[in-house]
Amino acid sequence: MNNIPIKNRLIELLIDYLIIIVYLVLLLIVNLGIILFIFKGMPKYTEMQAQLIATFTSVIPIILIFSYLDYFKNGSIGKRVSG
């Protein structure tokens, strides 16, 4: 049983959540830049292509980053900030 107070856990969650939001906003900005300036419009994607793009650009990188931080760096950024 871990005796970390719920307040500290919520602070950890909030900080990690904000980091994920910042990553996703940066990903959106880069993606919109590519769509507007390179493709000159929205390309047609099938549902499978859209799901794969979302998985490989958001889900898998976030899982890998936070897994790496938890395993090799003694906790995520939220854990390290909140103590």
Q: For the chain, percent helix, then strand, then coil, each to nearest 5? A: 80, 0, 20
Residue 40: per-residue pLDDT:
84
pTM over 0.85: no
Domain boundaries, the chain: 6-82
**How far is Cα 31 from Cα 29, in angstroms, rounded to an integer?**
5
What is the greatest pairwise CA distance in the chain? 55
- In tens, the pLDDT along 6-51 reads 888 888 889 989 999 999 999 999 999 988 888 888 888 899 999 9
Burial class (CB in 10 A: 0-12, 13-18, 19+), 75: middle
- Mean pLDDT on 54-72: 90
Q: What is the pLDDT of residue 21?
A: 95
For residue 1, the model assigns a pLDDT of 63
